[in-house]
Structure 1
């Protein structure tokens, strides 16, 4: 249960950080920034959805939980890569990587 909470907390932190970073990027700006902005928005949405899944009762279908957490991990890693090279996005990229690691740790506890 502790791993579930740690993963949910990392997802919440990543969602806030990604949404904030995405909102600071200029829509329609240079290609790299626009890609990072879109990735940040998606990451925030997926992390928030993952928080909701993890906060439900433990009697959930394990396959569904695993799929959601794996998706979150993958999106977070993609977002971190998109944020790399964007000035001022280092902290957001780190939050994404922290979340991906928390997801990976939680997946390891599943049967």
Structure 2
């Protein structure tokens, strides 16, 4: 029989997982949109931000897909994916900081990175 404490821990784990998946979905959407607005033939910083946005959208989508699967997954694999997502989101936010008008996208990336970090903390 499951104790109340372990049930609460499970609920918290699922809530954190859901929050992280939502953040990844929003970040993927924002990055894909922002990347589509940047001119690939524009200045080097813009091209770098566009590439970062595309990569971030792909990594966030993959992370969300992983988190939406059943619970019996390899915790080490989940942690590695979350760490990769967190790092890519932070790199993308830094790239978007260099593009005028991309402040909101940069913030979304940072929020996703924080959601990943928060969820990683529940895995330790």
TM bin (shorter chain): over 0.9
Alignment of 1:7 onto 2:7: no
| Of 19, 34, 58, the match for 1:21 | 34
TM-score norm. by structure 2 comes to 0.88
Alignment of 1:35-46 (within 5 A): 35-46=48-59
Give 5+ residue unaligned stretches, structure 1: none
Partner residue of 1:58?
Answer: 71
- 1:26-105 → structure 2 map (5 Å cutoff): 26-105=39-118
CA distance in 2, matches of 1:79, 1:69: 15
Partner of 2:123: 110
Q: What RMSD in Å do the two structures reach over aligned CA positions?
A: 0.5
Q: Which has the higher contact order (CA 8 A, sep 6+)?
A: 1
> How far did residue 29 of structure 1 move?
1.1
Give the Cα–Cα distance (whole angstroms) in 2 for the partners of residues 19 and 35 of structure 1: 14
- In the alignment of these two chains, the number of paired residues is 111
Structure 2: runs of 5 or more not aligned: 1-13
